[in-house]
Structure formats: structure tokens, C-alpha cells
Amino acid sequence: MEVLVSTFEKRLSQRDAINALPLYPNEQVMWDESFVPSINYTGEGCLALPKLNLQFLTLHDYLLRNFNLFRLESTYEIREDIQDVLKRMGAYVNDEGGTSFRGWARMAVPIKEFRITEVKRPNIGEVKPSACIAEVTFTVQKYKGSMRSEWDELKEHDVLFLLSIQPPLRQSNNEESNQLSIPERFGLQYVRGCEVIEMRDEGGHLMNDFTGRVKREEWKPPQGELRTAVVALDTAQYHMDITSRGDNDDDIYSSFNVLMRRKPKENNFKAILESIRDLMNEGYIVPGWLRDIILGYGDPGAAQWKNMPNQLSVIDFKDTFLDAQHLKDSFEDYEVSTYCD
């Protein structure tokens, strides 16, 4: 029966698999050595990573390899940032059995409150929700000067990460800690990514708005020390959490206690992955004379304008030049001749 089912079942296309894949990495992918190997690689074995070849079958194959490789590369960088935050925060179990932090980190703050405010219905033909909106409340009381301004400058489309940390009750010694993985050592349970929709201060006023809702003369400095970030969760990951855990899906999203950010220059992975995925869903977007060069076929010099067929003998420059004198001044080293048709 299994042989018959596997033979005649409908195959999931690569395009559908990529569209259903979460763009944010979770804790399972980050610390899976088969997907993202650690830095202490000795080179004795072969890494099972996607490679960029010299030739590709199609443009879809080229984009798919870039998508997988860049996704794993960004996952490794995010994992390194999370490890640094975990070491600096110093999470421990307090007298009440909850999680407290004896340290602090510049790129992470404890969460005061997290709640999901809206889950929209799926679009036609899809199973995942069309949008999942949540509110994250945190305080910037510990931060002064430039560090507080960095948190206050969070704006729309910035990517943040939600961490669920439950440290172990018994602290292990150095020998035992070296044998444990990072999630086991620091009690990291879940990692979920989100994108900022808007930021509000303690008074509920909108911060860093670029849509024109807040006029320039009505802008005021942030009030208080509490900040509320309205974020959009990854709908694909949210749907996977619900379907895999059933009624216990709130255990994940109600346990977040740390909000982490990254440097803006290093945190553009989501936009890049979205762009590659959108190109994979489109048709051929590369002209024929350049397609073979990208895929690694043909003569690389064929893309030069001198070697291209059907060259234009007359080019209309429209309003590039003001008059004949402007044309002569633009090409001082050339002799400009007049041609009359």
C-alpha cells in the first residue's frame, strides 16, 4: 500500500514548497548540524550544503540554489547573534519559579507583555492565515543615551526576533556545559521572527511614522519608558505551530520573554529572500541574449553589444541633447558629421 501511495500521490512542486516555507529560521533549523554546521568544521567530511555550480539547468534552478544557500547563511549569522544575547542576559529561575535576568544586552530586552491581537482568514486557495498581528510591550528603562535611541528608532519593516527562555533549575559545571548544546545550556525553547508594523510609546502615540499619518509639526519625542511594537508574525510558521500542536499552540506564543533586534545593515535577509521567492513565482524575467550567460552556456562575449545581431543603425536620443552645439560639446574628442536623410 505504501509503494502504491508513494508512486501515484501528487508531488509537491518546488515552487509550492518554497512558498510554504517560513522565511524566518526557528530553533530547530538553527541548531541542526546537518543544515547549519558549526564554525569548528575540520574539513574531514563533505558538508551537505547546496552549491553554486558553473552551469544551471534553468533560471528557476539558479534562483532556488541561491535561495537555499542564502537562507542557510543568514541562519548561521542569526544563530551567532542569539548565542551572544543568551550569554549576556544571564537567565535564571527566580524564587517564584519564573525566569529572571541578572545581566543585560544591548540588542535584547525582556518582554513585559505579548499578545496576539488578530489572525485573519486564509486567502482563497491557501491554508495559512493571510496575516497574524501581535503586540509586544517592553521597557527601555535600563538604556540611556544612544542605546535608548537605537530602540526608539525601530520603524516599519524592521525585523525582530522573539525568544522563549526557560533556564534549567540546576546549573551545570563547565564540563557538563561543554557537552550540552546552546539551547540546552541556556534553556532556549523557541525562536520566532516578526516584522515591525508600527511603534508606539507609553502614551500610545505613533513613533517613526513615514506614511504621513503623523504630521511633521505634530511630532513629539517618545513619552515614558514603555514601548509597544505592533508586529506581523510569519503566517507560515504560525500555521505550522497550530497544526503540529493543536490546542497547545498558545504555549509557544505565550512563553516569549525576550525581544531581540539586530544591526540594520546585517538584518536585510527577509527582504532578499522575499525578492528571490517573488522572482521564482514569476515567468522569465531575463532577456534571451543574457539568459544563457547567467546559466553558464554559450559564449560569454555574445552579450557584448558589438557581437549582438540586429544592431540598430539609427538611435533616436529624444531630448538628450539640447541642440547641435550641445552634441558637439559632449563629444569633444570625436568628429561630429551632419547627415541628412
pLDDT digits (tens, 9 = 90+) for 234-259: 999 998 888 877 555 557 898 999 99
Mean pLDDT of 129-156: 91
Per-residue confidence band for 224, with pLDDT thresholds at 50, 70 and 90: confident
How far apart are the C-alpha atoms of 74 and 306, rounded to whole Å?
40
Cα end-to-end span (Å), the chain: 78
How far apart are the C-alpha atoms of 26 and 188, rounded to whole Å?
11
Per-residue confidence band for 190, with pLDDT thresholds at 50, 70 and 90: very high
Mean pLDDT of 166-175: 75
Residue 248: its pLDDT value, please? Answer: 53
Nearest partner of 233 among 252, 247, 215, 217, judged by Cα: 252
Residue 164: its pLDDT value, please? Answer: 93
Specify the pTM: 0.81
Residue pair 225/202 in contact (Cβ under 8 Å)? The answer is yes
